[in-house]
Amino acid sequence: MYVNGETDVYCVIGNPVKHSLSPILHTFMFEYYGINAVYVAFKTDNIDIAIEGIKALNIKGANITVPFKRDAFRLVDEVDEDARFLESINTIKNVNGRLYGYNTDFLGFKDMFEEYTKFCDENDNIVVLGAGGVSVSVIYALYKLNIKRVYLLNRNPIKGRKIQKKFKGMMDIIVSDLNDREILSSSNIIINCTSVGLDNNEMPIDLDLVEDPLIIDVIYFDTPLVKTARQRGLTSINGMDMFIGQAYYAFKIWTGIEFSKEAAENLLGDLEL
């Protein structure tokens, strides 16, 4: 790659960011499509100043990651309708010093879910584990897919009820705790949106309580939940396709190009995660 005075800069801003796969993926895609741009990771303790920096340095686009997605939502100049509902953004486009915010996480999940649930029934019981920001994006994607009912299991019931309220009139959300036997045993699809297993060897639920559901984790590598489910013969997928999907939509917002998801899968599939 040839970097020169005209090279555009894109970035991911978060804390931590050193494990982010975004610089590898986007820099690869810039090169693949012949765009004179690089993509780097910026760790910050001060999201307000970091977002100002995007303008000051004419950074063309950014992804926003943990823990700044909600802060970034209030710091950009404009957001689209989806981001307004989610009150959280993961993508910024800088157009002549004006920052536009988008949420492509829910789009990445939507595509992944559609891909793996082609043969599912509309009466299937869908269970979402966790009630943080990712859960809201995932439930919003399910809403966009016309799903009418979701079971939301979380450690803290107050947070679950808050999400229930947010979606009132849009879809039916039944809130319970993480080891609700009845809900887990009748589940057809379980989506893990808790951070359990991200950096430890724990699992959010007891797999003895489930029958034969499809298990989806939003974390991009195989968590203990995904691995154990597979060992037990359950179909189980990690969140790599969701990660690639959110990057695909961010790249499209920045460049207008729909990158090859296959090329992305090949690139990231070769990494030791």
Task: Render 117-160 in DSSP notation, one character per residue.
Answer: -TT--TT--EEEE--SHHHHHHHHHHHHTT--EEEEE-SSHHHH
Binding mask 10-39 for ligand ATR (x = CB under 6 A): ------------------------------
Cis peptide before 157 (omega within 30 of 0): no
Count Cβ atoms below 10 Å from residue 155 Cβ, excluding itself: 15
With contacts defined by CB under 6 A, name the span among 52-60, 114-122, 190-198, 257-265 that binds ligand ATR: 190-198
The bridge status of strand 126-129 relative to strand 78-79 is unpaired
Footprint of ligand ATR on residues 206-245 (CB under 6 A)?
none
With contacts defined by CB under 6 A, name the span among 115-123, 131-139, 206-214, 240-248 that binds ligand ATR: 131-139
Q: Write down the least CB distance from residue 41 to ligand ATR, Å.
A: 18
- Identify the three-state secondary structure at position 11: strand
- Identify the three-state secondary structure at position 262: helix
| Spatial contact of 68 and 13, defined as CB atoms under 8 Å apart | yes
Q: What length is written for the chain?
A: 273
Residue 113 to residue 110: CA distance in whole angstroms: 5
131, 150, 229, 264: residue in contact with ligand ATR (rule CB under 6 A): 131
Answer yes or no whether residue 134 interacts with ligand ATR by CB under 6 A: yes
15, 44, 117, 195: residue in contact with ligand ATR (rule CB under 6 A): 195
- CA–chain centroid gap for 228, Å, is 22
Answer yes or no whether residue 154 interacts with ligand ATR by CB under 6 A: yes
Residue number, 227 or 261, with CB nearest to ligand ATR: 227
Q: What are phi and psi of 157, to 5 degrees?
A: -65, -25
14, 23, 108, 133: residue in contact with ligand ATR (rule CB under 6 A): 133
With contacts defined by CB under 6 A, name the span among 31-39, 100-108, 148-156, 251-259 that binds ligand ATR: 148-156
Answer yes or no whether residue 252 interacts with ligand ATR by CB under 6 A: no
The end-to-end CA distance of the chain, in Å, is 25
7, 156, 179, 185: residue in contact with ligand ATR (rule CB under 6 A): 156
Q: Which segments of 57-104 does DSSP mark as H helices, in order?
A: 69-75, 81-86
55 catalytically annotated: no
Q: Which residues bind ligand ATR (CB under 6 A)?
A: 130-135, 154-156, 159, 178, 193-196, 204
Active-site positions read 69
